[in-house]
């Protein structure tokens, strides 16, 4: 009877999906292949358009299976179930047990990998190192927290096998551990941070004291991971700011000797040595003091700061007569404001023998914060506006004064276009970026045996610059004829009221020769410089170019 029952069961179920077969939670055991495929499609296809939920470590999210290149292969999935088993024991047990079959997925591997890599923006988290921060003068511990990174390679296999099950996937992550332990944070909090702000620190100076209040200490104290440990750091600038005003009366600012011009003659204004606080030395023991709750005092360390130019040096520079002088005029009122400001900055400058003077370095950034205003410039052959406009006229005047004083050119650049109020081949422009970086500079070196002082004389209509020293050269300038003359081209200016018409000017090449005669020996030498000026375009406003 058992044999007959076995034969009948084997005959009846021939070609069907084995009993107990479950695919992605769908029971298809005992069904014909076509019926099983229909049931799988009806129950699983809706899942294929739904986002797949996942958890990666402590992060939850979802992804679109279609965008990840995932789709089910129904034929191969049922083929995985196999044929009806012949083993009678297996056939009997199939009445009481289920056999789970993973659906077979056709996968666009590149799409899936790209999708998983994109998920890392959500799943991955940098470790949060332990530390200490201050709220006012109260220290707070920052708990360390490990980070995590999605294991893309392992996650890919899990997704392919289980994405159609309708359950949330658990994706593997690799931990990225912190380097600072919780115990280290607690130790720093107790041993350093809390004592540091337990009270003020007194900084004793010469005749006055300064006090670092707990809030000021907190502003200048930080804790940074370093070699696996939390390390306290002191911001000296913040600490200095806390006591600088209190100790300002104990500091004496030094002053170099200066050449001032009184009654049109140079006079030496005496130097003064300074007395300053050596802040690095003063705060050297601060970390030890901060870990104490009593005897919280520092002694300010002072040092003398001698003047770089002493009265004796200034008097011995040989500044006694004008050795080079030049004047220019015909500037607009706004340019005149800038020329006056730069003249104030340069007036009285001393150039020792062997030293080089740089206009950009001497003035620093020429911005509105330094007293400069917007004024006219020439940009691409057309008039424009910029803060600091007009300084090139001062540079040209200074260049010529240094030229006739016998200074050695250490770098200058002529204008691209010739400006008629300047000597041909004997002029200079300067340029800085908006943040004050030097692009085009004017510099010259004093190779004379004596020092040189610069005097500037500004009026609303002219600027005169005189270089004082001890005369070594009689200087003459010899300008050659214009060659390679190029007529200007015509350009249309901007539309509207911003257009300023211009007749333009031809371009040309010219050579200037400086002749220097030594006043003692009578020996002469010549220095030639050839300059090429571009033609300045003719600017027309409105209408057509012609």
SS (H, E, C) 5-69: HHHHHHHHCCCECCCCEEECCEECCCCEHHHHHHHHHHHHHHHHCCCEEEEECCEEEEECCCCCC
Residues 374-432: tens digit of each pLDDT:
887 766 545 667 787 889 999 999 999 999 999 999 999 999 989 989 999 999 999 98
Stated pTM of the model = 0.57
Say which residues have a Cβ less than 8 Å from residue 294's Cβ, sequence separation at least 6: none
Which helix (H) or strand (E) segment holds residue 258: the answer is: strand 258-262
Q: Is residue 231 part of a domain?
A: yes
Residue 139 lies in a domain: no
User: Is the residue at 290 inside a domain?
Assistant: yes
- Asked if residue 397 lies in contact with residue 464, where contact means CB atoms within 8 angstroms, the answer is yes
Q: How confident is the model at residue 514 (pLDDT cuts 50, 70, 90)?
A: very high
Instruction: Report pLDDT for 387.
Output: 81
Per DSSP (E only), the strands in 348-451 are: 350-351, 356-358, 374-379, 382-387, 408-409, 431-432, 438-440, 443-445
Number of compact structural domains in the chain: 3
Q: Are residues 497 and 406 in the same domain?
A: yes
Q: Whole-angstrom Cα distance, residue 241 to residue 357? A: 34
296 — pLDDT class (breaks 50, 70, 90): very high
* pLDDT tens-digit readout, 312-351: 988 898 999 999 999 999 998 999 999 999 999 999 999 9
Q: At 287, which CATH number?
A: 3.10.20.800
d(CA 199, CA 294): 9
CA pair distance 364, 254, nearest whole angstrom = 21
What is the per-residue pLDDT across 255-270, written as a single tens digit (0 to 9) for each?
988 888 888 788 899 9
Phi and psi, residue 495, nearest 5°: -75, 155
* Confidence band of 79 (pLDDT split at 50, 70, 90): confident
Taking residues 114-126, what's their average pLDDT? 92
Q: What is the mean pLDDT of residues 34-46?
A: 76
- Answer whether residue 517 shows pLDDT above 50: yes
Query: End of a domain among 313, 346, 361?
Result: 313
What pLDDT does residue 86 have?
46
Angstrom distance (rounded) from CA 302 to CA 276: 6
Domain span at 492: 317-540
Assess whether 386 and 307 both reside in one domain.
Answer: no
pLDDT at res. 346: 95
- Between 42-51, 121-130, 269-278, the lowest mean confidence (pLDDT) is in 42-51
Q: Which two tokens stand for residue 157?
A: 């296999």
Q: Of 313, 348, 376, which marks where a domain is finished?
A: 313
Burial class (CB in 10 A: 0-12, 13-18, 19+), 539: buried
Considering the domain architecture, whether residues 244 and 302 belong to the same structural domain is answered as yes
pLDDT at 285 over 90: yes
What is the distance between the alpha carbons of residues 273 and 18, in angstroms, rounded to a whole number?
103
- Percent over 90 (pLDDT), the chain: 59
């Amino acid at each position: 009877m058992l044999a007959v029952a076995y034969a009948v069961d084997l005959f009846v179920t021939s070609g069907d999906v084995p009993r107990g077969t479950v695919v992605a939670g769908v029971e298809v055991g005992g069904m014909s292949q076509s019926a099983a495929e229909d049931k799988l499609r009806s129950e699983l296809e809706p899942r294929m358009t739904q986002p797949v939920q996942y958890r990666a470590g402590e992060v939850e999210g979802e992804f679109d299976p279609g965008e990840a290149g995932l789709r089910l292969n129904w034929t191969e999935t049922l083929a995985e179930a196999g044929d009806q088993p012949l083993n009678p024991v297996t056939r009997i047990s199939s009445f009481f047990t289920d056999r789970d079959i993973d659906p077979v997925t056709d996968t666009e591997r590149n799409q899936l990998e790209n999708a998983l890599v994109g998920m890392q923006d959500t799943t991955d988290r940098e470790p949060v190192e332990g530390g200490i921060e201050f709220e006012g003068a109260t220290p707070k511990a920052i708990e360390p927290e490990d980070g995590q990174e999605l294991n893309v390679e392992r996650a890919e296999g899990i997704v392919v096998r289980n994405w159609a099950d309708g359950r949330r996937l658990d994706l593997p992550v690799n931990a990225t551990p912190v380097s600072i332990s919780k115990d280290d944070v607690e130790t720093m909090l107790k041993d350093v941070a809390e004592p540091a702000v337990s009270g003020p620190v007194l900084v004793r100076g010469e005749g006055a004291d300064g006090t670092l209040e707990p809030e000021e200490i907190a502003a200048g104290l930080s804790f940074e991971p370093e070699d696996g440990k939390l390390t306290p750091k002191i911001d000296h600038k913040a600490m200095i700011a806390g006591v600088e005003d209190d100790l300002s009366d104990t500091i004496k600012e030094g002053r170099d000797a200066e050449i001032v011009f009184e009654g049109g003659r140079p006079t030496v204004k005496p130097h003064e040595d300074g007395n300053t606080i050596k802040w690095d030395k003063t705060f050297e023991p601060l970390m030890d003091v901060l870990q104490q709750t009593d005897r919280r005092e520092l002694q300010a360390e002072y040092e003398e700061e001698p003047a770089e130019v002493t009265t004796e040096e200034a008097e011995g520079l040989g500044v006694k007569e004008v050795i080079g002088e030049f004047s220019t005029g015909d500037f607009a009122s706004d340019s005149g404001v800038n020329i006056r400001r730069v003249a104030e900055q340069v007036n009285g400058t001393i150039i020792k023998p062997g030293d080089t003077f740089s206009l950009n370095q001497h003035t620093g950034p020429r911005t509105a914060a330094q007293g400069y205003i917007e004024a006219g410039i020439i940009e691409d052959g057309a008039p424009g506006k910029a803060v600091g406009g007009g300084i090139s006229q001062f540079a040209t005047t200074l260049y010529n004064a240094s030229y006739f004083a016998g200074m050695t050119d250490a770098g200058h650049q002529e204008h691209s276009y010739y400006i008629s109020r300047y000597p041909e081949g004997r002029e200079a422009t300067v340029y800085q970026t908006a943040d004050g970086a030097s692009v085009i500079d004017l510099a010259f070196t004093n190779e004379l045996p004596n020092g040189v002082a610069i005097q500037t004389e500004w009026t609303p209509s002219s600027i005169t610059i005189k270089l004082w020293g001890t005369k070594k050269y009689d200087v003459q300038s010899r300008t050659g004829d214009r060659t390679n003359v190029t007529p200007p081209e015509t350009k249309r200016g901007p539309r509207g009221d911003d257009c300023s018409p211009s007749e333009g000017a031809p371009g040309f090449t010219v050579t200037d020769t400086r002749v220097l005669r030594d006043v003692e020996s009578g020996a002469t030498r010549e220095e030639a410089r050839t300059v090429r000026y571009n033609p300045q375009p003719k600017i027309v406003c409105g209408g057509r170019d012609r």
